[in-house]
Amino acid sequence: MSNAAVHGSGTDRQAVGQVALLGLFVTALVTAQVTAAKLLALPLPFGLELPVVEASITLPGAALAYALTFFASDCYSELYGRRAAQLMVNVGFALNFVVLLLVFSTLRAPAANPEFAETFQAALAPSVNIVLGSLLAYLVSQNWDVIVFHKIRELTGHGQLWLRNLASTASSQAIDTVIFVGVAFYLAPTLLGVGSPLPTNVLLGLIAGQYLLKLLIAVADTPVVYLVVRLVGRVDAKPNPAAFGN
CA neighbor of 14 nearest in space, from 22, 3, 4, 26 = 22
User: How many CB atoms sit inside 10 A of residue 115's CB?
Assistant: 8
Q: Model confidence over 226-236: pLDDT tens digits?
A: 999 999 987 65
Q: Model confidence over 55-105: pLDDT tens digits?
A: 777 778 888 888 899 999 999 999 999 999 999 999 999 988 888 888 888
Alpha-carbon gap, residue 115 to 105, rounded angstroms: 18
Alpha-carbon gap, residue 86 to 186, rounded angstroms: 29
- pTM assigned to the model: 0.81
Predicted local distance difference test score (pLDDT) of residue 126 = 66
Residues of the chain with pLDDT under 50: 1-7, 237-246
Alpha-carbon gap, residue 205 to 185, rounded angstroms: 12
Alpha-carbon gap, residue 116 to 66, rounded angstroms: 28
Domain ranges of the chain: 3-237
Predicted local distance difference test score (pLDDT) of residue 17 = 92
Q: How far is CA 68 from the centre of its chain?
A: 5
Predicted local distance difference test score (pLDDT) of residue 68 = 92
Predicted local distance difference test score (pLDDT) of residue 5 = 43
| Alpha helices by DSSP H, 36-157 | 63-80, 82-108, 114-124, 128-156
Instruction: Rounding to the nearest 10 degrees, give the CA dihedral for residues 184, 187, 188, 192.
Output: 170
Would you say 110 and 37 are in contact if contact means Cβ atoms under 8 Å apart? Answer: no
CA neighbor of 90 nearest in space, from 147, 47, 39 = 147
DSSP 212-237: HHHHHHHHHHHHHHHHHHHHH---SS
Predicted local distance difference test score (pLDDT) of residue 223 = 94
